[in-house]
A and B are shown apart, each in its own frame.
Chain A
Amino acid sequence: MRDLAFALVMLLALPMALARPFGAYLLWAWTGLLVPTAYFFGFMMDARVNFIFAVLTLSMVLLGRVPWRSYQANPMTWLFLAFALHASLCAALAYPALPDNAKYYEILIKGLTFCLVMPLFVRERVHFHAFLIVFALGFGIHGVLNGLKTLASAGGHNMLGPMGTMVADRNHLSTALTLTLPILFYLQTYSARFWVRWAYLGAMAAIILAILGGGSRAGFVAVAVVGLWFLFTTRRKGMALFLLLAASVLFIMFAPEQWTDRLSTIKAADEDSSFMGRVIAWKISSAIALANPVFGGGFHAVQSQFVWDMFKFSPGLFGIFDLPIPEFSAKAAHSIYFEVMGDLGIVGLVLFLTLLLRGIWCRYQIKRMVKALGRQYQWARDMADMLMLAILAYMVGGASVSLGYLEAIYMILMLIELLRLHVFRATTIAASEVKA
């Protein structure tokens, strides 16, 4: 039945997408974030809807339906291009027979391609707002579904993301979902309709419930950081305090006992075999990077048993610690930083960190410019705050999960750069008006 409903919705959306390239672009984003086919069981299971909207949008761009001169040139585009080029070389020069090399390379390139097109479409406030709505509808829905299942099962639900995607694992999904919280908070603050604001608030509560009930320590740490940053920086301290209190109550009510036991191991990390396994994976990832500082080992090289065995005796960056030689088989890098370092070398890590830091720098630029523009652009400052908070959540939560190639973070980085450009244009216009 849901297959049929989706097919009908797509049939209705397609002509509108053909008429409005921005609509096609948003449908590309939505199908990429939602991965709707993961929720189907019938004839739409194998439908390549995301591919269809990607091809449709790119065709319209190539055919000149969206003029190339409207491309907003910006430094983030060049950084993305450099990162994509470097990643391509790393994938080509990877260790032989890496099982996930092609898969993760494809994920990254698809995500970067989507973001590289964004400066053609996202320009005015309405575009930013529409894009954030699509982000919430596409990505937030995974959290809302899991949150409601946690509620219905009184904490017994085993959280899962869409199968076959990067966020299928509960730790990955928990961390990725923390990125949606600041965006929902912005939408909740600025939506015009009362009931829409309540819907966003409900979605936030469901996502917090999903993260806290999901049992992921990375997700818990990320959501705690988001909560505290909210409280210290937002203009709406009352709402932030209310959300924090609500989250605490939900946590006490729904966190399963084994979860609180698991959480307590954060304090005794050196005795926790799961944590020590991660440290070993970090050590081996760093050893791969030191052996291949320019091009790394290739995508998810650390997960190849051949590469793991080759580097398991190397101290990497952890020579000062007395770490045991691992007896277990190859495992994931368990950190965005060590993942990128092992896969794309030190050069790749520097590029990756530059992207993230550029995002944070954009927020400070926007804040400075909005001060001069006045209250009329307060929305831009609030949006920049929330986008930066999403970046921070990713940087903190990602420290212990392999989410280096998550499309959502690259979208946020390009979005904050375009927001900076939008505010910069407004500043230039205001300055010329003053002169006149």
Chain B
Amino acid sequence: MEALLLLIDMLLMLYLCWRLFRSGANDSDATDLGLLHYREDV
């Protein structure tokens, strides 16, 4: 169970890096975190 959760954690971190990489903009101007993105209003 511990190994599985750690793996999920690593993959989510990798996904986040991927989304930032894909944003294509220079430096840190990411615009979309994909599945982990936020909603504008609650």
Contacts and interface: CB of A to CB of B under 8 A. Distances in A.
Interface of A: 1-2, 5-6, 9, 12-13, 16-17, 19-23, 25-27, 30, 34, 36, 39, 65-67, 70, 121, 123-127, 129-130, 133-134, 137, 141, 144-145, 148-149, 152, 189-193, 196, 375, 378-379, 382
Interface in B1-33: 1-3, 5-7, 9-14, 16-18, 20-21, 23, 27-33
Please classify the interface of chain B as helix (H, G, I), strand (E, B), loop, or mixed, using the class held by over half of its residues. Answer: helix
A12 B14 contact: yes
Contact of B2 (A17, A39, A134, A193): A39
Given A141-B6, A190-B39, A30 B28 contact: no
Contacts of A145: 2, 5
A67 B29 CA distance: 13
A126 B10 contact: no
A123 B28 contact: yes
Contacts of A65: 27
A426 to B, nearest CB: 14
Contact of A137 (B9, B18, B38): B9
Contacts of B18: 16
A23 B6 contact: no
A378 B33 contact: no
26 contacts: A2-B3, A5-B6, A20-B21, A20-B27, A20-B30, A21-B28, A22-B27, A23-B17, A34-B9, A39-B2, A65-B27, A124-B29, A125-B38, A126-B30, A126-B32, A126-B38, A129-B33, A129-B36, A130-B16, A134-B13, A141-B5, A149-B2, A192-B37, A379-B38, A379-B42, A382-B42
Best-surrounded residue of B7, B11, B38, B42 (most CB of chain A within 10 A): B38
Given A2-B7, A9-B13, A133-B16, A121 B28 contact: yes
A30 B13 CA distance: 8
A125 B7 CA distance: 28
Nearest to A5: B7
Given A6-B10, A137-B9, A379-B42, A13 B30 contact: no
Contact of B10 (A9, A16, A70, A382): A9
B21 A16 contact: yes
Contacts of A70: 27
A127 B6 contact: no
A64 B39 CA distance: 33
A419 B17 CA distance: 22
A1 B7 CA distance: 10
Contacts of B30: 20, 22, 126-127, 130
B28 A189 contact: no
A249 B12 CA distance: 31
A378 B41 contact: yes
B3 to A, nearest CB: 5
B28 A22 contact: yes
Contacts of B12: 133, 137
A378 B42 CA distance: 8
Nearest to A132: B38
Nearest to A70: B27
Which are the 5 A-B pairs with shortest beta-carbon distances?
A: A22-B28, A16-B21, A9-B10, A192-B39, A16-B17
A362 to B, nearest CB: 21
A129 B38 contact: yes
A382 B42 CA distance: 10
